[in-house]
Amino acid sequence: MTVTQPNDAHLFRSLHTPSAPLALANAWDVASARVIEAAGAPAIATTSAGVAWSLGSPDGDVLTRDRALKLIARVVAAVAVPVTADIEGGYGKDAAGVAETVAGVLAAGAVGVNIEDGTRSPAELATRLAAARQAADRAGQGMFLNARVDTFLFGLGDPDTRLKETLSRAHMYVDAGADGIFVPGVTDTATIAALAGDISVPLNVMAEPGAPTVAQLGALGVARVSLGPGVAQAAYAAARRAAHELFGTGDYDSLAEGIAFPELDALLAEPR
């Protein structure tokens, strides 16, 4: 069984700084993690949606805990950098179930987790975060607990008060033990600056085409930039594009954009 190394946890925590934001191109399996690591990633983050899709499930707390933990363990074993795992709502029916999941994530060797509120009440996620924090503390690991606030991503509540609601949830989650706050769905610079200025822990945003650059986000106060399921979506789009070519025009031009077979094969052959 893999056990989280405290030095990796401390390193991962130290990477969260607006002066040089932690950039995470989220992986969904061992091969994508190795490709991303080889590109120079200081850490690997999984995408829960990408992981679920690769294992034949939709996103949204459908994937079972055991299958998720096995994937996390395989990714941790395959790379030499710290790994943080997106565990959706915690893969548990209640706070006790979330605590069991976090214990399993730590045993798999990951140094951080994302837990999302989604359509849950803020109070429920706060209870889940507190249980996650306690489980990590009992294990004696410096796990980085990232709390995802989905008000902007899902368009929850009144648009005129959405920023206020987001900040209210963020403060509640920090009080419950969160080390970072993740607010996907925001690219507006004024809103990002307001979030960074009012949240006392590292702010994580999700980048997409048209969003400010990593450096520009850092200047706004962002400490962590994720691509979420975007890389997996792009990979599956490449598969669809190749299929359309093959079944339509009968050509194969899009395959020219692929990673060379020897290069990709060598990444998986290297001992870690």
Phi-psi region of 94 (alpha: psi -120 to 50; beta: other; left: phi over 0): beta
| pLDDT score at 7 | 78
Q: What is the C-alpha separation between 51 and 105, in angstroms, rounded?
A: 15
pLDDT at 1: 43
Residue 62 has pLDDT above 60, yes or no: yes
Over range 36-44, report the average pLDDT.
97
Residue 211, pLDDT score: 96
Is residue 212 over pLDDT 90? yes
pLDDT at 141: 84
The per-residue pLDDT for 271 is: 65
pLDDT band at 272 (very low <50, low <70, confident <90, very high): low
Whether residue 3 is predicted with pLDDT greater than 60 in this model: the reply is no
Residue 6: what pLDDT? 64
How far apart are the C-alpha atoms of 196 and 142, rounded to whole Å?
A: 23
Task: Render pLDDT for 214-259 as a digit per residue (tens, 0 to 9).
Answer: 999 999 999 999 999 999 999 999 999 999 999 999 999 999 999 9
CATH tag, 6-232: 3.20.20.60
Contact 221, 196 (CB under 8 A): yes
Q: Per-residue b/e over 223-260, b at no fewer than 16 CB within 10 Å?
A: bbbbbbbbbbeebeeeeeebeeeeeeeeeeebeeeeee
